[in-house]
Amino acid sequence: MSKPRIDILTLFPEYFQGPFTVSIVKRAVAKKAVDLRLHQLRNWADDKHETADDVPYGGGAGMVMKPEPLMKALASIKRGRKKVKTIFLSPQGRIFDQAMAQRLSKEKSLLLVCGHYEGLDERVMSRIDEEVSLGDFVLTGGEPAAAVMVDAMVRFLPGVVGDRNSVEKDSFFNGLLDYPHYTRPRSYRGLDVPEVLLSGNHAHIERWRRKESIRNTFLKRPDLLQKVSLTERDRKLLAEIQKELQMGEQP
């Protein structure tokens, strides 16, 4: 099976020297689980100054990314390949989330286009399959968003994260936030690890973790509970949590 390929078209390829040379992404590249390629957009500019932007027609503040180098770059990067899903990192795009990260991780070929300035010439949008945003805020460029997306996606690739269960228990994987985690020492500054985690009773531990996952979601992101399908057992746990909160009990 061929490894997935992710191309990133950017004005600042040097931005990725940090994010892509540490931790999970570095491991994914080292294990040849993914083929990551950076492309300098200015390489497709026609003039000696390698101009990639110009003033907007109709006036207004800021600059707009020119269509010629973008179109040439997209055609060149895609040449000889059957299907390349092209994504433009834009504040107008759909919000990136765990479900999207998992979906895109299954693509064999992705091309991430990092926007800058006031965006790109609208005529290039015909070559874009999807617009993606990290949230309702504006970044200086698409590079931070591309780095985040790659980090989130490569976690799903086989062999990248040693313990597959770790990925499947991440926050948002099942629609809920993660449960609390503890490690040594058993007691720290008067704060103790919950006794159930020391019991060795795996059924009790699993129930506690599920309940605390629901509790975290209820307290921090109640909107998520409206989107996830809770089992009858989950609903009973939620009722317990609500009763405990009304009575002021601690978990």
Whether 232 is a known active-site residue: answer: no
DSSP for 130-151 reads: EEEESSSS--SBSHHHHHHHHH
163: Cα within 13 Å, side-chain hemisphere: 4
List the catalytic residue out of 7, 69, 143, 155.
155
d(CA 50, CA 68): 11
Whether 136 is a known active-site residue: answer: no
List the catalytic residue out of 91, 107, 131, 207.
91
Whether 103 is a known active-site residue: answer: no
Whether 91 is a known active-site residue: answer: yes
List the catalytic residue out of 35, 54, 118, 151.
118
List the catalytic residue out of 107, 121, 130, 170.
170
Q: Please, is 79 exposed, middle or buried when counting C-beta atoms within 10 Å of its C-beta (0-12, 13-18, 19+)? A: exposed
Which of 3, 29, 19 is CA-nearest to residue 110? 3
d(CA 57, CA 38): 30
Cβ atoms 143, 15 nearer than 8 A: yes
For helices 23-30 and 143-154, angle between their N-to-C axes, nearest 10 degrees: 60
Q: Which residues are catalytic?
A: 91, 118, 155, 170
